[in-house]
Structure 1
Amino acid sequence: MTADPLDAYMDAVAKALALPVDDAWRPAVKANLEVSLRLARLVDEFPLPDEIEPASVFAA
Structure 2
Amino acid sequence: MAEASDGSWDDYIDAVGRALALPIEDAWRPAIRANLEVSLRMAKLVDEFSLPDETEPASVFTA
Normalising to structure 1: TM-score of the pair? 0.87
Equivalent pairs: percent with the same residue?
A: 71
Q: Which 4+ runs in 1 deviate beyond 2 A?
A: none
Report the residue type matching 1:54 in the other structure.
P
**1:4-39 superposed Cα distances (whole Å, 9 cap, x missing partner):** 322111010001011110001101100000001100
CA RMSD across the alignment: 1.2
Give the number of the structure whose residues are more often helix, by fraction: 2
What amino acid is aligned across from residue 40 of structure 1 in structure 2? A
Map of 1:48 onto structure 2: 51
Q: How many residues align?
A: 58
In the alignment, what sits opposite 2:39? 36
Structure 1 residues without counterparts, runs of 5 or longer: none
> Whose relative contact order is higher, 1 or 2, with alpha carbons under 8 Å and at least 6 apart?
2
**TM-score after normalising by structure 2:** 0.83
